Structure 1
Amino acid sequence: MKAPVLVVSCLDDPTTDLVLGELHGRDVPAVRFDPGADFPDEIALSAYFDGLGLTGSIETPTRRLDLSSVSAVYWRQPTPYKPSLELDKSSATWVAEQARYGLGGVLAALPGAFYLNHPFRNRDAEYKPLQLVTAATCGLTIPKTLVTNRLDSVRAFSSRLAGTVFKPLWSTPFKNEDGKWRTIWAHPIDPKELDETVAEAAHLFQEQVEKVADVRVTMVGDHVFPVRINGAPALDWRLHYDSLSYELIEAPPAVVNGMRAYLDQLGLVFGAFDFCVTGDGEWVFLESNPNGQWAWFDDRISTQIASAIADVLISSKGPS
């Protein structure tokens, strides 16, 4: 029997569904579960450590996974670990942390397994300051950027630019005055409208690039899928999915080399890169999501990406 691929994902993720479809179509055994939702009620963990390393199993209601036999791990945004609602706050926090460091630690230490991507590498690569420094050192062009909590700094920074954009450093849900949860997207700002509340948090301000196009590049190992995004009427195209269309294009070789170096430097196999393209054809790096979405592309694009991910998972060197 072929060594299984472990798929760690929430259950309502269409991206995972496409990859699983590819694996099943190639008769590759796969075990999928969501540790945050399924543990401990639906998962029994027995992991043993001795001079031989890690052995043991994870059992679900329908499957038994030998921890030493996993060939590859596809890590796709599992839900956070959640304790029983019956526990008091202190006990709940303790239980959730034990699950994260216990089950999560085991899942991150599977012997010989290939990870796309390793969860620790995903976590590190989510920090935007690290993304920008890494992109620059790998030869990619980045916009002028400031991270600050000082009003005078952002005003001085903005005074040297034709336009300034604000971006959240992390996509944290925010409850507005009406009590409704909302997401803060990238948007232009007028520094004159800012006040001293800037001092209450770290903020990312960036040069607004005069762009003629947006490009999302999904990179899987050596497979590169640059997609031009057409039809966005505003700065952040994620606000206008209904009006968008997508076109597979070629990326400049220097940009491809820079992205490859970026993934290598951060220990990643997969990355979803966002660029804007200027009128003179320069590709400007904005950010890279180590666990980015791609299933919302047209089928002709998303099926190619799913196939590339399956290729990389299958060809990885895991236990025999």
Structure 2
Amino acid sequence: MILIIGEPGDRHVRHVTARLDARGSPYFLFDPRRYPSSAELTVDYDRTGAVRRFLTCADKRLDLADVRAAWHRARVRPTPAPDVPEDQAWWVAETCARFLSQLYECLDCRWIPERPASASAPLYQEDADPPACAPWAALPVRNQAPSPENKLHQLSVAGRVGFAVPRTLVTNSPERFLDFYDACDGGLISKRAVNLAPRVGGVATRPYTVSARRRDAANSSAVRHAPVMFQEKVPKRLELRVTVVGRRVFAVEIQSQDSYRQQTDWRHHPEYGQSQFYATHVLPEAIERRCVQVVEALGLTFGAIDLILTPDGEYVFLEVNINGQWAYLEDMLALPISDAIAELLIDGTAYLDCTIPATAENPGPGA
């Protein structure tokens, strides 16, 4: 299958589709202006990080795993639905544009002219006034690996090195959301699909991870307006912030379940930053190596990884913050993170051989 990202009225698109029709080559035409109001994108992951991606437009459904070549012709942005409030329209359009770029990055196929890169999306300060007409966020600039900030890519990488990940759905389809809600018996959390905060009444917000509730299912039509990331609610014994510097690993456990306020998102409430909820943590050697492998597979030398330790003793990967905060951990627990960064800057010292044998269950970062 050939994916054409373009406008039906573009004569360049008409010329090429005429030639494809003459040759009997199937193609799927996607106009980004139809997303999210009349097009649906759904990405879902199982607990091993295996992924499925679907695009539905004009009652036609495309399994993106079938795409063997893509032509990125469009120079247009997603268009919010008419009923989106005026102060939210820019956020919806920008969120959708960035999400499209992340999705394109993850499609392993032939690209013309080049595979788009999500890192090229314009990054505005959350407290800055949005421009009247934001630049196109998916301009093709390279044909390399996906950006390390791409959360879709991070989940796949984590699964490849052997981590369990939460069952995950990213969608703007109310129907897919409800199906996932039922499949998880209502035990879901929701997150931003991209790292961009909306403005409400002209004031920048800081959205946190929240539990999906019955009222969210009852108001499922709101999902249509922009992609949302939903994940199964993983039971927690502890949460961990694992800071990787080169091949040094500093693991801190967060007793988030000791406080009702912290149980869903430990950053959300006043207990965040209080030392009684933090302690150093000794990771199993295999988990420590996987943390290093994830960071290296993303092309990084530093990463702050969020994990969950379940009551059954399983370590579940959530995400990597490529420039995550760590000074408060060093101050509270006397961790030598700044020393490790200084040494890495000076001589690039590596402290851990993270090579482990590849197996069917753990094929390694190059698989």
Shared fold (TM-score greater than 0.5)? yes
Match of 2:182 among 155, 159, 163: 159
Match in the other structure for 1:312? 344
In 2, the alpha carbon distance for the partners of 1:135 and 1:242 equals 27
1:204: Cα distance to partner? 0.6
Match of 1:251 among 283, 300, 306: 283
1:302: Cα distance to partner? 6.0
CA deviations on 1:52-86 (whole Å, 9 max, x unpaired) are xxxxxxxxxxxxxxxxxxxxxxxxxxx9799xxxx
1:246: Cα distance to partner? 1.6
Q: In the alignment, residue 194 of structure 2 is paired with which amino acid? A: W
SS at match of 1:129: helix
SS at match of 1:211: coil
CA deviations on 1:138-177 (whole Å, 9 max, x unpaired) are 101101001111111111111111400101122322222x
Match in the other structure for 1:182? 205
In 2, the alpha carbon distance for the partners of 1:146 and 1:129 equals 10
Match in the other structure for 1:193? 218
Q: In the alignment, residue 195 of structure 1 is paired with which amino acid? A: S
Distance 1:202 1:252, change over 3 A: same
1:250: Cα distance to partner? 0.5
SS at match of 1:247: strand
Normalised to the residue count of structure 1, the TM-score between the two structures is: 0.58
SS at match of 1:125: coil
Mapped pair 1:238 → 2:267: yes
Normalised to the residue count of structure 2, the TM-score between the two structures is: 0.51
Distance 1:184 1:316, change over 3 A: same
Q: In the alignment, residue 209 of structure 2 is paired with which amino acid? A: A
Match of 2:297 among 238, 242, 265: 265
Match of 2:234 among 201, 209, 215: 209
In 1, the alpha carbon distance for the partners of 2:335 and 2:316 equals 27
Match in the other structure for 2:197? 173
In 2, the alpha carbon distance for the partners of 1:197 and 1:81 equals 25
**1:1-320 correspondence to structure 2 within 5 Å:** 124-162=147-185, 163-176=187-200, 178-190=201-213, 191-231=216-256, 232=259, 233-234=261-262, 235-240=264-269, 241-243=272-274, 245-299=277-331, 301=333, 304-316=336-348
Q: CA RMSD in A?
A: 3.1
Does the Cα contact within 8 Å between 1:294 and 1:302 map onto a contact in 2?
no
Percent identity over the alignment? 34
In 2, the alpha carbon distance for the partners of 1:274 and 1:253 equals 17
Q: In the alignment, residue 196 of structure 2 is paired with which amino acid? A: T
In 2, the alpha carbon distance for the partners of 1:302 and 1:186 equals 29
Q: In the alignment, residue 315 of structure 1 is paired with which amino acid? A: D
Q: In the alignment, residue 159 of structure 1 is paired with which amino acid? A: D
Does the Cα contact within 8 Å between 1:296 and 1:302 map onto a contact in 2?
no
Q: In the alignment, residue 292 of structure 2 is paired with which amino acid? A: R
Please, which runs of 5 or more residues in structure 1 have no aligned partner?
A: 1-78, 83-87, 94-100, 102-119
Q: In the alignment, residue 197 of structure 1 is paired with which amino acid? A: A
Q: In the alignment, residue 293 of structure 2 is paired with which amino acid? A: A
The structure, 1 or 2, with the larger RCO (C-alpha pairs under 8 Å, 6+ apart) is 1
1:198: Cα distance to partner? 1.0
- What count of residue pairs does the alignment treat as equivalent? 208
Normalized per residue, which structure has more strand? 1
SS at match of 1:286: strand
Match in the other structure for 1:25? none
1:243: Cα distance to partner? 4.4
In 2, the alpha carbon distance for the partners of 1:242 and 1:224 equals 21
CA deviations on 1:191-217 (whole Å, 9 max, x unpaired) are 523332211211110000111111000
Match in the other structure for 2:83? none
Does the Cα contact within 8 Å between 2:177 and 2:220 map onto a contact in 1?
no
Does the Cα contact within 8 Å between 2:240 and 2:308 map onto a contact in 1?
yes
1:249: Cα distance to partner? 1.1
Q: In the alignment, residue 128 of structure 1 is paired with which amino acid? A: K
